Structure 1
Amino acid sequence: MWRPSRLRVVASLAAAGALALTGCGTDVDDITVGSGKGWPAAYHDGRNGGSSPVVGAKKVALSWSRPIGGPVAEPVTIGPDGQMFLTTRAPGCSIFSFQMATGRKRFCTPLGATAVATPSVVDGMTNVYVGDDTDNVGAVMSFNYLGQPRWRTPVAGTPVSSQFTGDGNLLTVTQSGQIDVLSRQTGQRIVPTVQLLGQPDFLDNPNLDWPAAGQGLDDCHAGEPQCPVANISAVDTASGRFFVTVWKPGKPTAALVALRYADNKIEQQWSADLLFGGSATSPTLSPDGKTVYVGDNSNRLIAVDAADGRTKWVQPLEWTPRGGISVSGDGLIIPSGDDGYLLALRDKGDVAEVAWERKDLGLRGVPVQTAGGTGYTPAAIGEGLNLITFDTKTGATIDSDVLPGAQGSTTGTSVGAQGEVVVATRIGELFVFKPER
C-alpha cells in the first residue's frame, strides 16, 4: 500500500506558497499555449485524443534515426516549429531536444533519476515543462527552447501528468496524488494544492515525512497499487473539468475521478470505482467532452458519462489496452496495447461496435490518427518493427516502413506540424519519418 513519508515538509512549504523559484518573466501571461499543431503533449492535446488536425501523408520515408543513450518511457513531444523533446535516463542527460529537419541536438540537461517517467508538454513559444527529482525532491521545471531554466516548483512526488488548462496554466498531478495548477510564466501556484489521497493529520502523526519522489513509479506503467496515480489526466478546457485515475490505499479497485478547476479552486465532482486490476490507460475525452474512455487491467475498454460517472458501455478486448486511446474528431476509437492488434471501434451510445480489425498487425506502441483518414502505428513485422500507415476508414495498410534495427516496443507515435511522424523505442532510439506527398 502507498505509505506517506516526509509529507510534513512539503505540506508546510506548499501552504506557505514558497515553492516557486521564479526565473525571468512577468506577472502577465502573454505566452500562448499554441494552436495544437505539432504534438504538444504526450497524446497530442488536453483530451488525450491521440489524433492530429494535420493532414497525414499517405506515404512517408525515414528521414533520420539516432540512439539516445538511455531508456525512453514517454512519448516524444513536438513544438509548433518542429523542435522535439523527450526524457530519458542517459549519463549526464535527462531531457533532450532535437531539431526535426536534421536530428541535430539542440540541448540536453541533467535532471533527477525520475525525470524519465515524466511526460513533457510544450507551449506555443516552445517552452517545455517536465518533472524532476534533483536531491530527491520532486518538482516541475520549465525550460525555454534553448534549454535555459525558467523556473522550478517543488511538489510531493513525481509529476506523471502535465496538461494545459483552458486559461493557459499548467495542470500537474504526481504519482502520489498531488494536484497543482501553476503559472506557465512563473511556476507560482494559481490555486491551493489538492491531495487526492487526503491530507495527513500532523497532530496524530507528528513525525510523518513525505514520500521519496520516486516511490511507486515502477508500478505506474501497469497501473498497480503502489502507484496511486499512474496516468496522464484528460482535460476539458471548455468546462475546466479533468479526469484522473486513482487507486487509493485499501481499495479493491482503482477509480476514475472527475474534478473541476474553476472559480479559483479545484473541486471533486464524482468518483467511480470501476477499474479492475488498476488503470491500464490514460483517460481520453470524446471530441464533444461528453464521454470518457478508459481501459483497465481486466482487458476492458470502458465508456463513462463525463457528467456523472455512469458507465455507458464496456467492451471486452483480447488484450490489456495499455497506454493511450486514439479518438478522432469523428469518433473513431483505436485502443493501444503491446499484446494486442490494430482495432477500430464506434461508440453507439450504449454499446461499442467494431468498425474493423487487423489481427495480422501486432501493436508495438500507440496508434494515432490524422486528418484526411490516415493513421500510423508501430507494429511487429518479422523480428523487427515497422511504421504502418493505414486507412482509418478500413484499416487497410497504405505504407510500411522499417525502423532499422528497432526491437521491443515504442513509447508512442507523434505527428509534427508538417506531417512528420516520430517514434521512440523504449530501449532508447529515435526515428523520424518525413512525408512524401
Structure 2
Amino acid sequence: MQFVNSWPQVQVPPLAGESVPVALYDAGTDSVRQVTTPDGVATLYVCGITPYDATHLGHAATYLAFDTLNRALRQGGVAVRFAENITDVDDPLLERAERDQVDWQQLAQSQTDLFRSDMDQLRVIAPDAFVRVQDAIDEIATAVAQLLRDGFAYSVTTPDAVDDDIYLDVQAVQARTPYELGAISHFSPEQLAAAFVEFGGDPDRRPGKRSPLDPLLWRVARVNEPSWQAADGVPAGRPGWHVECSVIATGALPVAAEGTLISIQGGGRDLLYPHHEMSAAHASALTGREFAGHFTHAGLVAYQGEKMSKSLGNLVLVSQLVAAGHDPMAVRLAVLAHHYRSSWEWFATDLDAAQARLSRWLAAAQRAEVSGSEESGSKESVVRRQLREAIANDLDTPTMIEVVDAWAELENPQADVIEAVDALLGVPLLTS
C-alpha cells in the first residue's frame, strides 16, 4: 500500500503540566467515555474526501473536529497515529467527470491538491498515512479474495459484464463474528433500508443478492469504466466503497494486539450508516475482531436552509473564503465556535464575529508577551488548565473559546495561554 504526500506538517507545541485523559462520544454505546489505548498509541482513521468538489465548510467542520481530537489526545500524553484515505475510485467522482467531460484522474488530482492546500491553510495536522484508493487496489482485491474463500462473500450474475459482481454476506458476518447490524447506528430496520438506498445501495437487485442490505464488495469491469486486474479468484474490476476503508485503515495503521483493531473511526455524521457500519462488518469478517473502540461523527453544516452538499450545490468553499482575503484562522474559529457533534447553519456573520474575536486574542497575546505575566511563576495557569479540561471533555471547543475570550479581556493575561491556544485550538497568536 502506497502513501501519497499530504500537506506540510503542523508543529504542535508540547504542553508541560498534568495531562487530562480524553473522554469522547461513541455512537456504538451512545455515551461519552474515555478513549482507551492498551498499546499506548491512539490509532485514528478518518474517512477522506471524494475528490470532485473540495473543500466546503462541511468538510472543514469534519476535519477540524478530528484535528481537535488529535490535539486533545496529544495533550493527554498519548501518541497518535492518524490515517486518512482519498476516495478517488467511486461512482460520484466518475459521474462528475463524465458530466464535465474531463478525465476522472485529472479531476481527482486537481481536487485532492486543492484539499491539501485547504488543510494546510487551516493548520490541520497532516496524517501519518494519506492513501488514495487506487494505491490500495492490490490489498483490497486480496481482501475480497479472502472473503470469498472464507464464505463471507458471494458472486452475483451481472448481465452487462463478462464476469460477476461480488457482495458481502452480512448475515454470515453477523453469525460468525462480533459484528451486529445496527449496533453502531441504532437505526430501525426501516431507517437502515432508507439510508442504504440514499447512499448508493441496491436492495432490490435480483436475482442473486442473498439479503437486501448486502453491500457491493467488488464491481466487475464494465465498458468505459476504470478497472484493475485483481487477485486469484477475483475478476478485473474495482472495489466497492466500504471495503476500501476497512482495508486502508487496518493496513495503514498499527493494529492493536488485542481488543479492537483501531481506537477511533471518524467522519461526518452522514457516514454513520451504511459506510461506518459496513466498514466495521468488512473488518470483522477479515479479522474476526471488532473494528474500532469509538465511532465518532461530526455534525452537518447547512447553508441557505439546507445541508451543505455537492449534489445541491449550496457550497461555501474554504479556498474561496481565503481567496477573498479572509484569515484562515478566522475560518477555523468560526467552525470551532460550534461543538463538533452539533449540526448548524453557516452565515457570513459567523466569519465577521470570528475575525473580531481573532483580533482581540492577538491583541491580548501581545500584552501577555510584553508583560510576561504568569500565574504562580512556572505553574500552569488556571486558564490553561481550563482549556485542557474542556478539550478533554468531548472536544468542548465552544467552552474553550469562552475561556479564551475571558482571558483576552484581562489587563495582564497569562502568557502560558498563548502556547495552549496554539496547541489545543490550532490558532497561533504570535507571529514569531
Q: Give TM class, smaller chain.
A: under 0.3
- Greater strand share, structure number: 1
Greater relative contact order, per chain length (Cα 8 Å cut-off, separation 6+): 2
- Greater helix share, structure number: 2
* Greater C-alpha radius of gyration: 2
Q: TM-score, structure 2 length as denominator?
A: 0.26
